[in-house]
Structure 1
Amino acid sequence: MDYIIKPMQTVDEIDGKGYVHYKSWQETYAGLIDAEYLKNMTEEKCKAIAHKWRDNILVAKDGDKVIGFVGYGKYRDDTLSACGEVYAIYVLADYYGQKVGYELMNAAFEKLATYKHIAVWVLKGNERAIKFYEGYGFRFDGTEQEIKLGTSNTELRMIYERG
């Protein structure tokens, strides 16, 4: 399959990112987070989020269709200095196993080249994501945080250290 990875720029790409966000949440988090919260995470809400936060987003496209995205930047708080972060990475299930996530991660790492460490937070129980991050070289550092997704959920921090 031929796909490209590029900075998110056009309205169609922003809307496509919103759709991938919505669809990926439905595919990934059913059974992991509160069903009512997930039901209320509509495509319209995800598109509104995509239009609000447009910086540091790369999209993977198959033709004109956005099939995945990654958001990245400086680590969100001061607990880790000089650390980058992958804020989110999602790929449509139809494209699993085709290295789209791997190539999105590579592209984000290029953008985060000045950081020795890169962090990612993963929902406890999201085994597919954990396996992906571990395969890429991330390791758990023992840090957890509680987040509210309708009910309380635990996120685990993973860190990648450049050689």
Structure 2
Amino acid sequence: MNNLSIRPANLDDVQAIRSIGIITWPATYLSFTSPDFVMNNLNTWWSHDSVSASIADDTTYIAFQNGEAVGTLTVGQFEGEPVIWKIYVLPDTHGRGIGTELMNTALTAIGHAHDVRIEFVKGNSTAQTFYERRGFKFDFEEDMAEGFTTVWLRRPAGPIISGS
């Protein structure tokens, strides 16, 4: 991985993180959701206020390659357990191991003693495969108000599985 660096994000990174979301969300979700779903979520979860809050309240990482922001991941809490809320890498940088390095950074910070949860929108087979290769297993599904389904996975406590 040529010149990849990952660090905790700070409020100076809000625009770079928002840009990652604005680029990745349509590329990720339009093939199996709707334009309204994508726009609503961009306006909700990728707004300046929402990204600022995730940096202040959770742990958000930002990945840089050759000085360019190329990925982000946010770790928070859900029902008293660690959860990875966001992991996105710019589409033109897929396949370079950036997502794996972001995931390993988060899992190392969380530690081996905790289960970790993650969720994705049903139909996102790329995310599902990526997560399962890293030891996440099906936990439960829930229907969203927008008519789509959220799939929750859980990674049992233990060592990192790097996946490929």
Sort the TM-score into its range (normalised by shorter chain). Answer: 0.7 to 0.9
Using the size of structure 2 for normalisation, the TM-score is 0.84
Q: Kindly tell me: are residues 41 and 85 of structure 1, through their superposed partners in 2, closer, same or farther at Cα, counting changes over 3 Å? A: closer
- Residues 22-37 of structure 1: matches in 2 within 5 Å? 22-37=22-37
Query: SS in structure 2 opposite 1:24?
Result: helix
Residues 54-91 of structure 1 show CA distances to partners (whole Å, capped at 9, x for unaligned) of 131000012332100110022x22xxx5x311111000
Give the Å deviation of 1:28: 0.2
**Percent identity between the two aligned chains:** 23
The corresponding residue for 1:15 is 15
The corresponding residue for 2:161 is none
The counterpart of 2:66, out of the listed 63, 68, 78, is 63
Query: SS in structure 1 opposite 2:32?
Result: coil
Q: Which runs of 4+ in 1 moved over 4 A?
A: 40-45
The question of whether the paired residues in 2 share the 8 Å contact of 1:19 and 1:43 is answered with no
What letter is aligned with 1:8? A
The counterpart of 2:154, out of the listed 149, 153, 159, is 159
Query: SS in structure 1 opposite 2:55?
Result: coil
- Residues 1-163 of structure 1: matches in 2 within 5 Å? 1-11=2-12, 13-39=13-39, 46-48=46-48, 49-55=50-56, 56-74=59-77, 76-77=78-79, 81=80, 83-113=81-111, 115-141=113-139, 143-148=140-145, 151-163=146-158
Give the Å deviation of 1:162: 2.4
Which segments of 5 or more consecutive residues in structure 2 lack a partner in the other structure? 159-164
Query: SS in structure 1 opposite 2:3?
Result: coil
Which 10-residue stretch deviates more, 35-44 or 85-94? 35-44
How many residue pairs are counted as aligned between the two chains? 154
Which segments of 5 or more consecutive residues in structure 1 lack a partner in the other structure? none
Residues 75-114 of structure 1 show CA distances to partners (whole Å, capped at 9, x for unaligned) of x22xxx5x31111100001111001000000111122116
Q: Kindly tell me: are residues 125 and 44 of structure 1, through their superposed partners in 2, closer, same or farther at Cα, counting changes over 3 Å? A: closer
Give the Å deviation of 1:42: 5.3
Using the size of structure 1 for normalisation, the TM-score is 0.85
Residues in 1 aligned to 2:108 and 2:4: alpha-carbon distance in whole angstroms: 18
Residues 105-138 of structure 1 show CA distances to partners (whole Å, capped at 9, x for unaligned) of 0111122116421010111110000010011111
What letter is aligned with 1:20? I
The question of whether the paired residues in 1 share the 8 Å contact of 2:14 and 2:52 is answered with yes
Query: SS in structure 1 opposite 2:33?
Result: coil
The question of whether the paired residues in 1 share the 8 Å contact of 2:25 and 2:42 is answered with no
Residues 16-54 of structure 1 show CA distances to partners (whole Å, capped at 9, x for unaligned) of 111111111111000322222324555897241212321
Residues in 2 aligned to 1:86 and 1:44: alpha-carbon distance in whole angstroms: 17
Residues in 1 aligned to 2:148 and 2:33: alpha-carbon distance in whole angstroms: 7
